[in-house]
Structure 1
Amino acid sequence: MTNTNKLVRIALSGPNAKPLSKAQKEFNRLSARVAELEKLLTDYRTSVDAVQQRIQGDYIPLLNTYNQCRADLVRLFDRFYDNPDATRPERRKLARLIVDMGEDLIFRHGFADLRTIVGKYSQQDMDEADDAAQQLEQMKQTAAATYGLDLDDVDFDTPDDLMAYIEQQLRERQAEQERRSERTEQTKSGRQQADEAKQAAKLQQTTKTVRTLYRELVKAYHPDLEQDEAEKIRKTAIMQQVTDAYEKGDLMALLRLQLTLSELDQDRVSNLADEPLRHYNNLLKQQIDRLTEELTERQQYMASLLGRPLSSVQSAFGLDISIGEAVNSLKRDVKSIKSQLKSLTQPAFLKAWLQSYYG
């Protein structure tokens, strides 16, 4: 297989060789940058695939287990609320826990079966000193802070009305996010089409050097000109790579093929005049822009997916660390909540726990 990762570089030849010109130095710098970005992108793609496998195989099952334990806690608190030994302050804390934890599980994680339990406690008068209006106002403030909603100018008669409104707002928010995502994709698609059209136009108008390289490679390696069957098969494979590179306007791939297949062609590149080299350099800059954009988009997506700062996922190594930390943290949370759930099934322990709870 042809080594398409070989670095294309102009080197000094001989002790009396002239120093490299500005265009030649620029060619070397840009070529090295392309090779660097291609390696970064290759490594990052591989790491992203591994991270996505860990998300599906490790993180999501752990998250589901964690949330199921939280739902079991809500049900446990619901059962203990009716315990004759439960005091009024304990019931008030239990009700607050049920509502806060239950609403998060319902709205963010799809535990619709908890709706009846949460609704029951949302409608109760939890304390003689708190009237219904105060409770509703507290729920509004909690909902506003939790879901980022502006509820100041909205009036509700009952907690059920508030919950219905929140659900409606979250559905509308989700729909708007989907519409924005669709518009973004459409805009991106239109931008990509425009870029492709621009690149195609440039390829037709200004890439004489690319076409020249292509014709030279076709002339040297076209299989129809070969009589030997084994050599014909080899040249057919080479021509497939040549054709793919030409159709993509990939100057670096054509250069690498030419240099790999015939080391003598290195002299041809080294002896190019500055004017053709400047054309090469412009194409290399375009390739650097494309590679940089793709790498940045992938990094931003993974930062959002893992809920991590962009700086922590800008390398394959950082990605591996981030998913590892996320999985390990969730493992600790699952272990802790399972232990807590087991202990809280004992009424005496639950009462002691509620006494120390300041929610």
Structure 2
Amino acid sequence: MNLHNPATDLPAANALPVPVPEQAPGTPAQQAFRAAVEQVEGLRQRLRELRQEQAEARRRYWQQVGPVAATVVEARRALFGPLEEALLLDYFSRLEHRQIQEVILGNARALQDRFGEDAEDMLRKYGPRRRVDDYDDDAPAAEAPAPTPAIDPHLPPHEQAAAHARARRKTKAQRAEEAAAQEAREQQQRLLSNTKALYRQLARIHHPDLARDPAAQAQKTVLMQRITEAYETNDLYTLLQLLSETGPTEATDEDVLTRYTQALHQQTTELKQQLNALKFGENGFMGSTGKKREQEIRQLKRHLRAEAEYLTHIHRLMQEPEGLRQVLRELAAEGHETI
């Protein structure tokens, strides 16, 4: 008896139809643009979340060390008075005057960078000043001379001269390449900051007057209201999202999307740098937690109390010119520019 085996009637596995993944609608330029928009939005959201996390961590942190830190801030601000008064005295030499200015600047930076205090007035007042002819906005900034690579002194003179010429050409080419890269970044930044151009691009596509039937006109009217609201509030990202949701109508629009995609890629790089700076930079706040954090806080409190006592001692010395001169000499001997 011949038994029928249904399994033998099944097609081979490689003969089965494979479902094709559904592709995102639109042209390659639209797809790349939408992907860039989504990546930027993801990074922006992560940046917002990280800032909130760190703000909350800082809030808890300053609740514990804030009073001691406030004492240090007050002691550092008290130094500005005697230091600025000393600059008005003929008692100090020109070199000592420069040293006093460095102490003021260093103290202002400590307040700003370590404690988040506003010290911009001191930084502007005593920061390095440019020459009068440097204030010409149209004049290009002077470039620092590029380091000259070492040339083998045992080479014949003509070969040394040729090596120097090659090095100069290479350096000039590098400067030109860096300048071109900087110009490209600035153009991309200008593109992303120009909401008017983006508004016009969207209005040209979605203006209700372009609709042929009442239903389409009503739909475009609603969309145009969103576009106008985003433009009036300078909401660039909403405009970009609206552009990513609607396709280009002409070949020239593809070029617009490509330029925006390139600008968004540059913004992606900058957002990643901001994230890394927030996580791992000097002003980042991704410290430890639990018992280790408690130990760190106790140690920091001890350091801040010692710093406040030292600053109070320095402030007493600065009340007399000779005491300030002693402070300046000690700083110079230790190789420090500021307190």
Given the two structures, how large is their TM-score scaled by the length of structure 2?
Answer: 0.37
Given the two structures, how large is their TM-score scaled by the length of structure 1?
Answer: 0.35
Between Structure 1 and Structure 2, the one with more helix by share is 1
